[in-house]
Amino acid sequence: MRDGFRPEPWKRGPVLAVPALLLGLFLLLHQQIPNRIGGLGSLVASFLPWFGLFAPVLLAGALWRRSACAVVALLLPVTVWLHLFGGLLVDKSHPGGDLTVVSHNVGADNSDPAGTARDLAASGADVLALQEITPQARGTYEKELAKEYPHHTAQGTVGLWSKLPLSGTRPVDIKMDFGPLGDTKPVGTKMAYNRALRTTVATDRGPLAVYVAHLGSVRVNPRAGFWTDSRDRGAQALGRAVAAERNERVVLLGDLNGTVDDPAFNGITSRLRSAQEVAGDGFGFTWPAKFPVVRIDQILVRGVEPESAWLLPATGSDHRPVAAAVSL
């Protein structure tokens, strides 16, 4: 071989082409990753959009190596990523909507529940769902929201405040337990086990079934890996409740502790659409509030049309509130 000889562009960089192809297959087949191995499937689904960051890194290497085969191989992960998430990069919102709904995990360790309540009331929402309401803060939310929302119900740690009448309220059993690491709420904070409800909102265009839910937390444990058992059981129970719902119009508001890409939610997402995906602008990450990297707070609908979906400013919680305007 002559000194200074360099292989043809199509023969350079196979070491970069292989990981590019593997990345594409990984994104394409992510729902096939089993959860029985340390909850790996749910862990991948939680941060799936961020795996796209490997593509520009591989592209930089391919350009540095002047490798044509690596650049072509990168078409697979880029195409798959755009298929999965490209629609979220476009503003799909429309003006209007008959009803504005807001959902917020207000946080058990929220040091300013009164301020949080006032901020949420100022959003102008017609229906306001709260999760992680502690017994200590419940009275504060009821007092601060009473003027704007004459109708409300609270079941355990979840509640719904509405400008429109409510009826047929009942708890929904989502099979809660604390998991391998126990209760991680602040010391002295007692949380009820009931974390989901179903009620009917009386609109001028007919009844609307509204579910409010806070599914079980996920835990990282050296023995159990990414532990999602409690959340997954809750998702299955919630999916059965939605499947049995007779009202054609349904809105689910809540902290699901997972993304809609997670196959654990197939029983829910097969029947309900994400307002963010239909009418949002961007990924709408909600947690943690200071630097959101994942959207675990959801507004899912059936029988109504989302016109717009957005995030509200941060409150004293570690979650960002989510909002959507829907047409009935």
Q: Which residue has the tokens 């499947």?
A: 243
Residue 188 falls in which region: left (phi positive, over 0), alpha (psi -120 to 50) or beta: left
Range 99-327: architecture per CATH: 4-Layer Sandwich (3.60)
Report pLDDT digits (tens) over 158-194: 999 999 999 999 999 986 655 554 544 544 444 456 8
What are φ and ψ of residue 67, in 5° steps? -100, 110
Tokens of 123: 């959003």
User: Per mean pLDDT, which range of 66-70, 99-103, 210-214 is the poorest?
Assistant: 66-70
Tell me what the mean pLDDT of segment 273-282 comes to. Answer: 97
pLDDT at 261: 94
Q: Examine the pLDDT at 262 and tell me if it is beyond 50.
A: yes
pLDDT confidence band for 221 (50 / 70 / 90): confident
Mean pLDDT for the stretch of residues 150-157: 96
What pLDDT sits at residue 225? 79
pLDDT for the residue numbered 180:
53
Residue-level pLDDT at 35 = 85
Q: Which of 231, 178, 188, 214 is nearest to 104 (CA)?
A: 214
Please give the Cα distance from 150 to 164 (Å, whole number). Answer: 8
- Coil, helix or strand for 208? strand
Average pLDDT of the residues in 244-272: 96
For residue 323, the 8-state DSSP code is: E
What does the pLDDT read at residue 10?
59
Range with lowest mean pLDDT among 63-67, 131-135, 300-304, 320-324: 63-67
Within 8 A by CB and 6+ apart from 270, the residues are: none
Q: How many CA atoms are closer than 13 Å to the CA of 28, on its beta-carbon side? A: 12
Domain with CATH 3.60.10.10 in the chain: 99-327
Q: What is the pLDDT of residue 325?
A: 98
105 Cβ contact list (under 8 Å, min separation 6): 130, 131, 132, 214, 255, 297, 317, 318, 319
- pLDDT tens for 81-134 read 999 999 999 999 999 999 999 999 999 999 999 999 999 999 999 999 999 999
pLDDT-above-90 percentage for the chain:
80
Residue 284 reports pLDDT greater than 50: yes
User: Bigger pLDDT: 75 or 36?
Assistant: 75
Whole-angstrom Cα distance, residue 101 to residue 129?
A: 8
Task: Report whether pLDDT(208) > 90.
Answer: yes
- What DSSP string describes 220-279? EETTTEEE-HHHHHHHHHHHHHHHH---S-EEEEEE-SS-TT-GGGHHHHTT-EEHHHHH
- Three-state SS at 294: strand
Structure tokens at 36: 């029985």
Percent of the chain with pLDDT over 70: 89
Sign for the CA dihedral angle at 272, 89, 259, 256 comes to negative
